[in-house]
Amino acid sequence: MKYISTRGNYKAVSGAEAIRLGMVPAGGLFVPEHIPEFTIRDIEKMQQEDYQDIALKILQEFLTDFNKNKLREAIYSAYYKKSFPPRDITPLVKLDKNKYILELWHGPTAAFKDLALQLMPYLLRQSIEKIKLDKEVVILVATSGDTGKAALEGFKDIPGIKVIVFFPAGGVSSIQKRQMVTTGGKNTSVVAVNGNFDDCQNAVKELFADKEFNEYISENGYQFSSANSINWGRLVPQIVYYFVAYVELLKRGEINKGQPVDITVPTGNFGNILAAYYAYKMGLPVNRFICASNENKILTDFLKTGVYDINRDFKKTISPSMDILISSNLERFLFVITANNYNLINQWYNDLRTKGRFQIDDKTKEKIQKIFIGEYSDEKETKDTIGRIKKELNYLPDPHTAVGIKAYEKYQKKNIDIPVIIASTASPYKFSRAVLESIKCNFNIDDEFDILQELRKCTNTEIHRALKNLNKKEVKHSRVCKKDKIKDEILDILQ
């Protein structure tokens, strides 16, 4: 399997190269040149297999240049029982008739990003070995909270790789900060930046493009890479759990073989929902995808009108991991749905760069609307949904998951006769304050760790193990830097 650029501006590369490079150096994203397919019979047979077997089956199709035994090793190391619940890596909870919640947050940091970031470091490590790269890879991460901790946990103590995380000093919750600065490992660094998330993100992006700095780093034996979902190595592990969830429904006798389901995904960068779409292209029976947004509903507008327009205000919401205006992975989706038409992609992304907007043609729009629905949930709706679902169905969704539930309800107002899988992307404890406010327990508590305890008492549920005792853990990172001094900070870390 070769990987090609969505903009037709780069040679075809192997899976290992695509993962090592992260994105196409000249701009654009790597995509598989064709999509492997499973039959209904293949999917039916997966009922005899566990998560790891299904993961191996899928990864092997995409990473044909990797050694099968080594892939298996990587999968078993990643989804080890210390990182995930031993049998049920992604539990599927029946919420109501024909409604299922796919809990993706049982990994070490309580966010769905663990499912990819526990495995991807092994894939990168193997890529480095295959290419015989004689440099140490330095993963630069700019984070607004969740990605940073998941990347630190995933890359911790992986030989030949260092990871440096930049977060906005005042822009993450105290729990998220605490999760990051208490990470162990000899190869991890965490830096608080005096600036906002965009300052961190822009600084990191500029560094990737800074030729002189990259040459200097290279002479000293290092090379930069990225761990966000522009990297194919982060997307491919996410295809797995959509198959696993479907197969689980088959096993429970809730659906018949070949029966289509709906899939709802609370979406930010379009990575998770794109993985679901790849699963569909590989043969998973899907009726509709419901792309759920919060008040930053650029994707809802795009799916309804065919116009993608970033000239709008950015809103801070209680589902911060979806506060995003540039959904990077949409480019991959548009490439696939236009049957690899890189001329169109170039035209649209050129418009986006110069005018901050692009409009797709009617034919493509109709094609998308046959399978994709865009809906959103505003702040009040999200809070009401958390409260109502807890009260009526005794299930406690986090704000991101609640956005998914509400968006689905707006799409499907009548009786649900098609089963729906709703992706749940974070533990409710990760966003305790918003959740506690939504279920209307009277409280007058300021400290975030006390709020965790209060939520536990109020709901009679367990605090996610990643967040328990967090306030008692030792702080291991205390670096702080100004937003225009990130380069110096990196050099200081590498020396």
Ligand X SMILES: *Cc1c(COP(=O)(O)O)cnc(C)c1O
Active site members: 113
Stretch that binds ligand X, among 170-178, 265-273, 433-441, 472-480 (CB under 6 A): 265-273
Q: Is 237 in the site for ligand X (CB under 6 A)?
A: no
Q: Is 189 in the site for ligand X (CB under 6 A)?
A: no
Q: Is 110 in the site for ligand X (CB under 6 A)?
A: no
Q: How far apart are CA 304 and CA 374, in angstroms?
A: 7
Q: Is 321 in the site for ligand X (CB under 6 A)?
A: yes
Q: How far apart are CA 419 and CA 343, in angstroms?
A: 38
Q: How far apart are CA 159 and CA 476, in angstroms?
A: 20
Q: What are 434's two structure tokens?
A: 């918003």
Torsion sign across C-alpha atoms 206, 212, 218, 222: negative
Q: Is 374 in the site for ligand X (CB under 6 A)?
A: no
Q: How far apart are CA 189 and CA 31, in angstroms?
A: 31
Residue type, 193: V
Torsion sign across C-alpha atoms 364, 367, 372, 373: positive
User: Which residue in the set 15, 32, 233, 266 belongs to the binding site for ligand X (CB under 6 A)?
Assistant: 266
Q: Nearest-CA neighbor of 240 among 124, 95, 94, 89?
A: 89
Query: Contacts with ligand X in 148-167 (CB under 6 A)?
Result: none
Q: Which is nearer to ligand X, 182 or 267 (CB)?
A: 267
User: Which residue in the set 4, 111, 164, 263 belongs to the binding site for ligand X (CB under 6 A)?
Assistant: 111
Least Å distance between CB 437 and ligand X? 18
Q: Is 299 in the site for ligand X (CB under 6 A)?
A: no
Residues 6+ apart with CB under 8 A from 464: 105, 110, 427, 429, 430
Q: What are 307's two structure tokens?
A: 């116009």
Give the x-and-dash track for 117-146 against ligand X (CB under 6 A).
Answer: -----------------------------x
3-class DSSP state of 325: coil
Q: Is 298 in the site for ligand X (CB under 6 A)?
A: no
Q: What is the DSSP-derived secondary structure letter of residue 339?
A: T
Stretch that binds ligand X, among 266-274, 297-305, 447-455, 461-469 (CB under 6 A): 266-274
Q: Which is nearer to ligand X, 104 or 164 (CB)?
A: 104
Task: Tell me, by CB under 6 A, how many residues bind ligand X.
Answer: 17
Q: Which is nearer to ligand X, 115 or 163 (CB)?
A: 115
Q: Is 272 in the site for ligand X (CB under 6 A)?
A: yes
Stretch that binds ligand X, among 23-31, 263-271, 279-287, 455-463 (CB under 6 A): 263-271
Residue type, 73: E
Q: How far apart are CA 491 and CA 477, in angstroms?
A: 17
Q: Which residues of this protein are in contact with ligand X, per CB under 6 A? A: 111-113, 146, 229, 266-272, 321-322, 400, 425-426
